[in-house]
């Protein structure tokens, strides 16, 4: 993936301890970060939906 390659280039150029990681370890780290961000986004959407549904049901009575 192009994004992962760009991030790897930036981090290996400017990031301190990233230089000691192998390309495989760096890709694994970036992939884990992507999954964490996606899960955070899904969780935020679910919480927003629950708050909106709760607001709608409490105002209808």
Q: CA gyration radius for the chain?
A: 19
Amino acid 40: pLDDT: 95
DSSP 8-state secondary structure symbol assigned to residue 16: T
Average pLDDT over residues 50-60: 85
- Say if CB 29 and CB 12 are below 8 A apart: no
CB atoms within 10 A of CB 57: 9
Amino acid 41: pLDDT: 96
Q: Is the confidence at residue 61, as pLDDT, over 60?
A: no
Q: What is the pLDDT of residues 4-49, one digit of tens each?
A: 787 777 777 766 666 677 778 778 888 888 999 999 999 999 999 9
Query: Which residues lie closer than 8 Å to 46 by C-beta, 6 or more apart?
Result: none
Report if pTM > 0.75. Answer: no
Amino acid 14: pLDDT: 67
Helices (H), 1-61: 2-14, 23-59
């Amino acid at each position: 993936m192009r994004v992962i390659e760009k991030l790897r280039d930036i981090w290996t150029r400017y990031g301190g301890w990233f230089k000691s990681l192998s390309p495989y370890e760096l890709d694994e780290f970036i992939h884990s970060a992507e999954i964490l961000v996606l899960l955070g986004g899904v969780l935020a959407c679910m919480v927003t939906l629950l708050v909106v549904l709760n607001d709608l049901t409490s105002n209808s009575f």
